Amino acid sequence: MDRREPLRVAVIGTGRMGADHVRRIDRAVSGARVTAVVDIDAGRAEAVAAGVDGCTAHTDPAAAMAVADVDAVLIASSGTAHEAALIAAFEHDLPVLCEKPLTPDAASALRVMEAEQALGHRRVQVGFMRRYDTEYVRLKALLETGRLGRPLMLHNRHRNVASAPFFTSAMLITDSVAHEVDATRWLLGHEITAVTVLRPTPSAGAPEGLADPQFVVLETDGGALSDVEIFVNCGFGYQVQAEVVCEGGTARIGDGHALVTHTAGHWGGTIAQDWTERFAQAYDDEVQAWVDATRRGEITGPGTWDGYAAAAVCEAGVRALEQGGRVEVDLVEKPALYR
């Protein structure tokens, strides 16, 4: 591509996430434009494409990548379709921003990692957008100064108003706790070695048969513990909070106290109702960082190794949920390309 020209992006998947990324690139991100969209639902793809000047609609990801006006790919389709789209992108040596999960399981993530290694250079950034959230960035910077000493524990809370009708007990791990898995690895700089999942009596607000909430304990190779309260039918709002406990102090994010009111004998504020509100700026910053790096000819941010590691930890978590007890995480040796 000509680095003086906008990055020409094909967006694969035009559901809620994909359509939002099309809007983001078209209206909020500089240095890029959407030139193609892909969806197995031709009508939906055509409707999204109609709102963007010069954008074409496709039903086949490989066909969209083969056209001359595509420099990069943003994958926002269902996780089961990611592997094929990633391999197609590698065949054209196109840089990719792939929404999490990289793939739904560790075996397919390994195949993607092996294919990327065959290229000899990184091509994938994985969409763990919390790494671009202002509060998480500040917490990471504080930990890197060493002022608080060695991290001992990380406490995470992840709450949603209500789960989707298709949500399963395992999806609390694979679709929700996956974010805390990556945040733990990134904030602490540790790999996760074992997972334990505890199940209290399900909330009365949870659909029949859904194990909600859950309490997940992650052990790390740096000797720290990270716990996650995941509660996807809390009923009152969307909350993501984290507190790190170190040898010399603590730090906490996610309290949501940007605006506090005092009136009529009460004080309080508002609680975000979903992730699009809470992390809107993080998504904008993530995509902008990807566009800027790609135009420089670089790949930055969380990569294929991070996607694979998260998949492996989540697999261990699902086994711990279903079988009980502590389950160790099975990770291959980290390839040189990702060190």
Mean predicted confidence (pLDDT) in 172-196: 98
Number of neighbours of residue 320 by Cβ within 10 angstroms: 22
Alpha helices (runs of H) in the chain, residue ranges in sequence order: 16-27, 42-50, 61-66, 82-91, 106-119, 134-145, 171, 178-188, 275-278, 280-295, 304-323
Q: Which of 23, 47, 39, 131 is nearest to 78 (CA)?
A: 39
Mean predicted confidence (pLDDT) in 151-167: 97
Domain 131-275+311-338 in the same topology as domain 7-129+281-303: no
Supply the DSSP symbol for 332: P
Q: How far is CA 63 from the centre of its chain?
A: 26
Average pLDDT of the chain?
95
Strand partners, 243: 155, 252
Mean predicted confidence (pLDDT) in 182-192: 98
Residue 261 pLDDT level (bands cut at 50, 70, 90) = confident
Mean predicted confidence (pLDDT) in 64-77: 94
pLDDT at 258 over 70: no
We find that the CATH architecture of domain 131-275+311-338 is 2-Layer Sandwich (3.30)
pLDDT at position 263, please? Answer: 77
CATH 3.40.50.300 fits 7-129+281-303, yes or no: no
pTM: 0.95
Contact yes or no for 56/33 (Cβ under 8 A) = no
Where do the structural domains in the chain lie, given as residue ranges? 7-129+281-303, 131-275+311-338
Mean predicted confidence (pLDDT) in 249-259: 87
How far is it, in rounded angstroms, from Cα 156 to Cα 134?
17
pLDDT at 1 over 70: no
Number of neighbours of residue 165 by Cβ within 10 angstroms: 6
